[in-house]
Structure 1
């Protein structure tokens, strides 16, 4: 009788083998002990590697040159965050200054501290506030110009009109006396006064370690001045039967109306990556005129590689039938005798360069005047010395979300 004790093949109880036995496979016990030895060798190897790596890393740290931080430490990023915080604070401060009545003037201390406040009983109402300009002047203060739609408060309908105190009479001004500011002059032209509209206020803000407070009360300032547009380079109109006219019209129709990517690529130069609007927001597009730059219209039979700058003036139609004008500045390139759209410009071609402010010498400070380089006392318009410190509102973002590069 053979008995299997769990280690190796069965054995005879009488000590004799009934048949010759082949060489048996390694026992289960041998397998366990072999795995344990392998694990021990791995652990020992890792320990030796750790012991060697420590001194090696220390040596490399001492031999290698000192590394420079990737993040700039000149304060540029910090000033961007500082400008954002100051902008938000100034906007809230100006709105609170306009909307807070006299009976609640204590809430303004969080913005203006102990500055003297003359508050109206009937405050203004505001809407649509936004920061129009923010600069850091040479004193280290932030100068913020806030624009807001403000409406002067109206007294209740049953309120009695203001009266002169009893026993007092208004006396005319004596000969040679200059009327006080704000008094009407019979010979002067009437001043147009508004009680509702877009108003602008300038506020100096002190920022120290995340803490902010206005250094003065808001100052009403003129609106930013108007600026004439630069001369466009587009000076020659294309006839409606010009081959380039139809190509541009079909390109814009595929991109804005049909949303057909295959058709869009058919009117594009090879290698471009224009994308159709998805979802399509317009029901129709009408190309009114196409104007080319360079003094003459593009050739009707162009040579391969020839380019042309054009601007398309279009009318977009919504699903409700309402119309909206738009303009596209495009670069056309000829291939196999036909014009194709090679690029959508982010800005139109200009016939004159964009003006760059020239540096001006710093003004000498005089009593009663400010040496601030941020904004002048005549309004919120920038000065050439603002350019290095301007944090926001410098350049408009490119328009046209469908613009692609070839």
Structure 2
């Protein structure tokens, strides 16, 4: 009996094209001598290195920010000291003072403020006009870095000319020179000064006048606003408000008594020292409520008063003064709640509808 056995079928020999495909597959798993496992490890390492670099950059930037001094201002954002309106006003005041004092030969002094003054020819003696007080009354910007400053000057009257020793007795004074005429009184005159400012090389601000001053008219006056106070009334001793105000002003102006005992809680005032007066007399008061009150209202009541006084100096001279005060009741008495900066104005009436 013949036993039949199954023989393995031999694999066909690879052809030339099949060998190329096999080599390509091998190259896919082995790149540049690296296996796929080595490539995965390298990719992970590169990813971690990138994250470390990013985190390090963030930490470095944060450390640099925190290490910067907090109180160091940026010089690029801070304007130079004295720039703008304040510096222009001060420069104009100095220039106006020198302009008024200047006389013959002072052209160089003025040129320090206005270079064009070097070619001027001034007349009269220096100090013929003497400003005893100067103040800025108007300040407005007319262009970029250009300010128009109006300076008020209180001028002392010029001294009368000295009479010539060779003048004959009985000669009449010369009306053109004013010799022998009584001196005129003080006067207040106004001068408009144009000032330009610009940064200097050292970072400060420089100023220069653009022309000579121009004398102009002074500012006008207006009618003051109506206040909330009633008609002023003479003080009465039986009025508890008067007693509080008298004691408060005596301590505040004359140093008589304890100031704090007349102040409401959380009100802070300091007496004038040294005391300029020896006594204070209340002459009238106007209130925004009852003109006279002999009883203290309930606690928490607030009232505003305009108080007129006469304060006596050490030489016996009295000076009239006016104080705007706010009083408040507490524990059955009036106390000073505030020394107001100005009298309280009455609100303007609402416009009527058409």
Q: Normalising TM by the smaller chain, what interval?
A: 0.5 to 0.7
1:138 is aligned to: 143
Q: By how many angstroms is 1:198 displaced?
A: 1.8
1:399 is aligned to: none
2:193 is aligned to: 203
- Range with bigger deviation, 342-351 or 294-303: 294-303
1:128 is aligned to: 132
Q: By how many angstroms is 1:67 displaced?
A: 11
Between the aligned partners of 1:298 and 1:70, the Cα distance in structure 2 is 59
User: Cα deviations across residues 169-192 of structure 1 (Å, max 9, x unaligned)?
Assistant: xxxxxxxxxxxxxxxxxxxxxxxx
Q: By how many angstroms is 1:102 displaced?
A: 3.3
Given that residues 93 and 134 in structure 2 are in contact (C-alpha distance below 8 angstroms), is that contact kept between their aligned partners in structure 1? yes
Between the aligned partners of 2:65 and 2:291, the Cα distance in structure 1 is 67
- From the CA coordinates, give the structure whose radius of gyration is larger: 2
Q: By how many angstroms is 1:156 displaced?
A: 5.4
Structure 1 position 92 matched with structure 2 position 94: yes
1:335 is aligned to: 330
What TM-score results when the alignment is normalised by the length of structure 1?
0.55
Distance 1:304 1:91, change over 3 A: closer
Structure 1 position 226 matched with structure 2 position 231: no
User: Cα deviations across residues 69-113 of structure 1 (Å, max 9, x unaligned)?
Assistant: 885889785475443433333233223333333344344322222
Given that residues 331 and 341 in structure 1 are in contact (C-alpha distance below 8 angstroms), is that contact kept between their aligned partners in structure 2? yes
Distance 1:338 1:195, change over 3 A: closer
CA RMSD of aligned residues (A): 3.8
Between the aligned partners of 2:85 and 2:142, the Cα distance in structure 1 is 12
Q: By how many angstroms is 1:337 displaced?
A: 3.2
2:212 is aligned to: 217
Query: Aligned residues, how many?
Result: 267
Structure 1 position 149 matched with structure 2 position 154: yes
Given that residues 278 and 313 in structure 2 are in contact (C-alpha distance below 8 angstroms), is that contact kept between their aligned partners in structure 1? yes
- Stretches of structure 2 that go unaligned for 5 or more consecutive residues are 1-55, 168-172, 177-183, 200-204, 349-354
Between the aligned partners of 2:93 and 2:161, the Cα distance in structure 1 is 26
Given that residues 126 and 148 in structure 1 are in contact (C-alpha distance below 8 angstroms), is that contact kept between their aligned partners in structure 2? no
Distance 1:110 1:266, change over 3 A: closer
Given that residues 259 and 278 in structure 1 are in contact (C-alpha distance below 8 angstroms), is that contact kept between their aligned partners in structure 2? no
Between the aligned partners of 1:321 and 1:206, the Cα distance in structure 2 is 51
Given that residues 234 and 283 in structure 2 are in contact (C-alpha distance below 8 angstroms), is that contact kept between their aligned partners in structure 1? no
Between the aligned partners of 1:230 and 1:72, the Cα distance in structure 2 is 46
Helix, strand or coil at the partner of 2:220: coil
1:350 is aligned to: 345
Given that residues 254 and 279 in structure 2 are in contact (C-alpha distance below 8 angstroms), is that contact kept between their aligned partners in structure 1? yes
Q: By how many angstroms is 1:316 displaced?
A: 0.9
Given that residues 298 and 308 in structure 1 are in contact (C-alpha distance below 8 angstroms), is that contact kept between their aligned partners in structure 2? no
